[in-house]
Chain A
């Protein structure tokens, strides 16, 4: 008789319903930091980005995934005009940063980059500088010389990058004396020191071990409160862990964009599904 009082599974399950909404482009959508419209980018004759339209929500983490050469790094670099460093690039379309056109003829790219910071795949603290100098060099070269202000910003940036406690007694040591993960956080601190509105990250953990990676991921999660973050990653699990929205690029096109949970449980496009499940032939 032991099975007589077996409760029905369906009644026992009381999980809260997950909303499965798709972000829409209407007014109800959350505030957008970037509004990219019909972006196309050419390197010489080669078209690297084809007609991408995408809104990036404020104070969120947006992950860009896709196979190598799909244009995800180009797209990221176009968000602070870093792609222009490559000779013979041409860009069409508009990118609005909080409503302002980044590509307007009156806009100086250096000003754009001050507002949209970037962290790179390989940690690259300046080798001739100490830890402290590395953090404030951006301000210094932009004409800030008030030592008190610089010291305050130095501590604030290192604290935000979760590095202060580890380096506060070693600020005079070379930046390159730190471990790989610490160097990457130093680079993040350096980016934060100029107080950008957005932080772009180009595979920030691809050279790090899992512990250092976890620290950066935790940091990204904390920074989200203050900054809008866009990150390129090859690591699908990482995109799943850290991002609120995921964009899948393939052959220069934006194939699919939506909340990360949706993309990773129920992608709408066959190509997305094949890529994230590892079925690309």
Chain B
């Protein structure tokens, strides 16, 4: 679709950057998936791998920064090339933090797994599904430069926040009623909160996807136009 650069090494560098970014997103997605499964299926092994994989994600973040800087330095990209490099550099910390949230969830899960299951675990199920889809769609919208999908991801963030708030409320109530299980409820509360964070990062990623595809900055629209 896009013609190649005259300078072959430029194309190679951009491709390498994109490959690293996709690999990083894939790893983060897998970790998140494992952490949640570890929680829902009470599987400590899955939690352990999710935590272990975080190191690789962190390394990829550094690699992407390095690649991005090198492209900026050596090829001085402009227009869509510049936007791709800039958004890669901006995207990778968001993915890295999704990885961190996966680690968080996995750590909470291991603690929860030591005690009998709590029925309130049900509260987490819709939230994790929602957050997971947001993250996948955000990555997809970036990869495919799909502006519509990206906008839809941003639109979903509020719903996730509401779901998290609802869960918080219920869990807090349970904490007061059943102080024996305080630790368990607290851990679930943190899991919910981590998933809400995943949604925030997904939104950031989607916003960068819009910038990459359409060179439009859709962040903080509310500040410019007071409703």
- A–B contact with Cβ pairs below 8 Å: the answer is yes
CB distance from B15 to the nearest CB of A (A): 14
Chain A proximity of B20: nearest CB distance (Å) = 20
Given contacts A4-B190, A10-B200, A10-B203, contact A279 B3 (CB under 8 A): yes
The answer to whether B224 and A17 have CB atoms under 8 Å apart is yes
Residue with the highest number of chain B CB atoms closer than 10 Å, among A273, A274, A278? A278
Q: Are B80 and A277 in contact (CB under 8 A)?
A: yes
Tier of interface size on chain B: 35 or more
Asked if A223 CB lies within 8 Å of chain B CBs, one says no
**Secondary structure call for the B interface:** helix
Query: B94 touches which one: A3, A9, A17, A18 (CB < 8 A)?
Result: A9
Contact with A along B1-21 (1 / 0, CB 8 A): 011111100100000000000
Partner pick for B83 among A4, A8, A13, A265, CB 8 A cutoff: A265
Within 8 A of B (CB), among A169-226: none
CA distance A48 to B77 in the complex (A): 30
| A interface residue numbers (CB < 8 A to B) | 3-4, 6, 8-10, 13, 17-18, 20, 236-237, 240, 264-267, 272-274, 276-281
B81 at the interface (CB under 8 A from A): yes
CB of B100 within 8 A of CB of A277, answer: no
A13 CA to B177 CA in the complex, in Å? 39
User: Is A278 a contact of B5 with CB atoms below 8 Å?
Assistant: yes
Chain B residues within 8 Å of A9, by CB: 93-94, 97, 200-201, 204
Residue of B78, B80, B100, B204 ringed by the most chain A CB atoms within 10 A: B78
A8 to B207, CA, bound (A): 14
Q: Are B80 and A281 in contact (CB under 8 A)?
A: no
| B contacts, CB < 8 Å to A | 2-7, 10, 75-83, 93-94, 97, 100-101, 104, 190, 193-194, 197, 200-201, 203-204, 207, 214-217, 219-220, 223-224
B residues in contact with A281, CB < 8 Å: 3, 6
CA distance A90 to B223 in the complex (A): 54
Whole-angstrom CA separation of A13 from B93 in the bound complex: 14
Of all chain B residues, which has the CB nearest A8? B200
Q: Give Cα A4 to B101, complex, Å.
A: 10
**Cross-interface CB contact of A6 among B4, B76, B97, cutoff 8 Å:** B97
Query: In the docked arrangement, what's the CA distance between A236 and B75, Å?
Result: 12
Contact B78 A276 (CB under 8 A): yes
B6: which of A8, A237, A278 is its contact (CB, 8 Å)?
Answer: A278
Taking a contact as CB atoms closer than 8 A, the residue among A3, A20, A240, A277 that contacts B81 in the complex is: A277
User: Whose C-beta in chain A lies nearest to the C-beta of B203?
Assistant: A10
B7 / chain A contacts, CB cutoff of 8 Å: 278
A8, A264, A277, most chain B CB atoms within 10 A: A277
Contact (Cβ within 8 A) A264 B217: no
Task: Report B107 CB to chain A, min CB distance, Å.
Answer: 9
Q: Which residue of B lies closest to A274 (CB)?
A: B3
Chain A's closest residue to B3 (CB) is A279
Q: In the complex, what's the smallest C-beta–C-beta distance from A56 to chain B, in angstroms?
A: 22
Quick one: closest B residue to A1, CB to CB?
A: B190
Chain B residues positioned under 8 Å from A278 (CB to CB): 5-7, 10, 75
Tell me, in angstroms, the Cα distance from A278 to B201 when the chains sit together: 33
Provide 6 A-B residue pairs closer than 8 Å at the C-beta atoms, listed in order of the A residue: A6-B197, A8-B200, A9-B204, A277-B81, A278-B75, A279-B4
User: In the complex, which residues of chain B have a beta carbon less than 8 angstroms from the beta carbon of A17?
Assistant: 217, 220, 223-224
A-side contacts of B3, CB under 8 Å: 274, 279, 281
In the complex formed, the residue of B with least CB distance to A276 is B78
Known: A9-B200, A277-B78, A277-B80. A265 touches B6 (CB 8 A): no
| A273, B1: Cα distance in complex, Å | 14
Q: Beyond A10-B219, A240-B78: 16 further Cβ-contacts under 8 Å?
A: A8-B197, A9-B94, A9-B201, A17-B220, A17-B224, A18-B217, A20-B216, A236-B76, A265-B83, A265-B215, A273-B80, A278-B5, A278-B7, A278-B75, A279-B2, A279-B3
Residues in chain A near residue B75, CB distance under 8 A = 278
Cα(A276)–Cα(B82), bound, Å: 11
CB distance from B136 to the nearest CB of A (A): 19
Nearest CB of A to B103, in Å: 8
Give the complex CA separation of A265 and B211 in angstroms. Answer: 10
Does the CB pair A277–B77 fall under 8 Å?
Answer: yes
| Contact of A279 with B6 in the complex, beta carbons under 8 Å | yes
CB–CB A276/B79 < 8 A:
yes
Query: Does A236 lie within 8 Å of B78, measured CB to CB?
Result: yes
Could you tell me the distance between the alpha carbons of A100 and B93 in the complex, rounded to whole angstroms?
56
Interface centre among A18, A272, A279 (most CB of B within 10 A): A279
Q: Which residue of B lies closest to A237 (CB)?
A: B76
Q: Closest Cβ of chain A: how far from B59's Cβ, in Å?
A: 19
**B79 with A266: CB separation less than 8 A:** yes
Most chain B CB within 10 A, of A237, A272, A274, is at A274
